[in-house]
Structure 1
């Protein structure tokens, strides 16, 4: 990988990490309803990428399902979780999506794994359990929502493996449109936003929306897919571990996240497992890309 692309990937990971923390502030500190926030985000993405909707990727039902899972389902659940969960914990627990994707690939696509990837899956799940462990074998509802978010993204990624090549902006257009159409009515049914509180957030909230929709979804994700098409997964995927590490650092610095021995031990174990899984020899089409923020 040349220096320019390496620095570009680092920048992408830092953008994803910053967005995790910003999303926490939006839904927790500013009191913006999480489904509403996700709906507005994807409506902006859909509006900006509207010219790329056609031609429709085939089969249509599959791209709709992928868009709903990797967009609306994954992000709405994550934003709901961030109301009560720290960005650091969410970033580590969401790494469970890597082994979940592998296990779903075995069940749905009939893929096989060798002992090294099985070890990586086990380490990742052990690390996640260490992070979420509380006395009495209880797991918070927020962390369960993070796991549900990771599962949605993983199932979407597996379905994506059955699609042909899709241009990154066309993929973003369908994620944006399907997610906005799902989340807008859900927000009306599920949430009763305090519009006075939402509007009180003012320009910072507008800035968070623009950053999340344009910089993260349209910008960073599109550039990431471009790098995926250029390099093998075993080169790209390990470097994306910068995202959870940077999220932990920003979370500790900005949102006062907990960083004790349990969090450190669980994070190291989980990220080691992810690294082992990611180092498999394979070419990663857009289909294998997980949404990171």
Structure 2
């Protein structure tokens, strides 16, 4: 991979890792579902003019993808981040969507994987269990549960997304934003009473977090990711994204006061190690088999 593209990958990693920190600060003032709704409302403003209509018969799948990822994944993941009180454990547990996606692709799409991938999946899930016994996590167990459910919805949305045709990344982001805003605001009105009314007193820190999530994390981060997967195999790009939780942990230690314990670090290493092996196996499968010299 050229140095230019490695720099772009590092920008993506920094954008997505920084989203944990800026969102955590913003949610000191804005409730999680309302924050997610604001993120998508801001994102919908520029993208609504560029969305493409899906192919005939794909509306149900597209709506399901938008609700799984936009409403359920992001809404629950920000709620988990708010409850956690740290950045490290949510950033690591989120990566469990990778083995979940592999298992769902096996059950729903009939995709097969070798025993090494199966072992990597088992190691990742075992790492979540080890991480769950860290005192920092045990103190807020609901955060771990919600993040796992959030990762599961992301895995379901990812598998369903494989059946979408003819939609570029901006159309997918635009439709996700448009379909997610009203459900998120409705959930916020039901579960977070007074949240919408309090927006007038939100400081620049809260608004900066929402703007960062919409334009830096979503628009810039996913836009650059789309550019790179057009140039390189997805399996070559995804292992670099394992730096996101590593950078998020660093930001948490530097600016949020995180103090990861040994169980969290060990469990995190198991989760990320399993995900890394899955990514390497996917890369090996994506490489063309050299032609034989014999007929």
TM over 0.5: yes
Please list the CA deviations of residues 182-238 of structure 1 after superposition, one character each: whole Å capped at 9, or x if unmatched. 211111122113568644442222222111111111111111122112211231111
The normalised TM-score by structure 2 is 0.90
Report if the CA contact (8 A) 2:54-2:166 is conserved: no
| Structure 1 residues 105 and 195: CA distance shift in structure 2, 3 A | closer
User: Does the 8 Å contact 1:120/1:276 carry over to 2?
Assistant: yes
SS of the counterpart of 1:164?
coil
The 10-residue stretch of structure 1 (75-84 or 47-56) with the greater mean CA deviation from structure 2: 47-56
Q: Matches of 1:236 and 1:54 in 2, distance apart?
A: 26
Q: Distance in 2 between matches of 1:195 and 1:236?
A: 39
Is the Cα contact below 8 Å between 1:45 and 1:173 reproduced in 2?
Answer: yes
Aligned match of 1:51: 49
Q: In structure 2, the residue corresponding to 1:192 is in which secondary structure?
A: coil
Query: Larger radius of gyration, structure 1 or 2?
Result: 2
Partner deviation per Cα, 1:153-176 (whole Å, 9 max, x = no partner): 100000011122421111111111
Structure 1, unaligned stretches of length 5 or more?
A: 284-293
Q: Distance in 1 between matches of 2:14 and 2:36?
A: 20
Contact 2:101 2:159 (8 Å CA) reproduced: yes
CA spacing shift, 1:8–1:32, aligned 2, 3 Å? same
* Deviation by residue 1:244-265 (Cα, 9 ceiling, x = unmatched): 1001111111111131211111
1:54 CA displacement: 3.0
Contact 1:57 1:63 survives alignment (8 Å): no
The alignment status of 1:82 with 2:94, answered yes or no, reads no
Within 2, Cα distance between the matches of 1:100 and 1:227? 24
Aligned to 1:105: 105
* TM-score w.r.t. length of structure 1: 0.90
Q: Which residue of 2 aligns with 1:31?
A: 29
1:7-66 residue CA offsets vs partner (Å, 9 max, x unmatched): 011111111001011112222xx2311110001110111111001223234410111111
Question: Larger deviation: 250-259 or 32-41?
Answer: 250-259
Does the CA contact (< 8 Å) of 2:134 and 2:264 recur in 1?
A: no
Is 199-208 or 227-236 further displaced after alignment? 199-208
| 2:290 matched residue in structure 1 | none
In 1, are the aligned partners of 2:22 and 2:212 still within 8 Å (CA)?
A: no
Quick one: distance in 2 between partners of 1:36 and 1:194?
Answer: 7
Q: Structure 1 CA distance, aligned partners of 2:25 and 2:66?
A: 25
In the other structure, the counterpart of 1:68 is: 67
Aligned to 1:120: 120
Deviation at 1:108, TM superposition (A): 0.6
Counterpart in 2 of 1:132?
132
User: For the residues of structure 1 that align with 2:166 and 2:251, how far apart are their CA atoms?
Assistant: 35
Superposition CA RMSD, Å: 2.0
Q: Is the 8 A contact 2:26 2:210 kept in 1?
A: no
Whether contact under 8 Å (1:67, 1:175) holds in the other structure is yes
**What residue in structure 2 maps to residue 149 of structure 1?**
150
Aligned 1:89-238 pairs, distance under 5 A: 89-133=89-133, 140-193=141-194, 198-238=199-239
Measure the CA separation in 2 of the matches of 1:182 and 1:122: 35
1:22 maps to which residue? 22
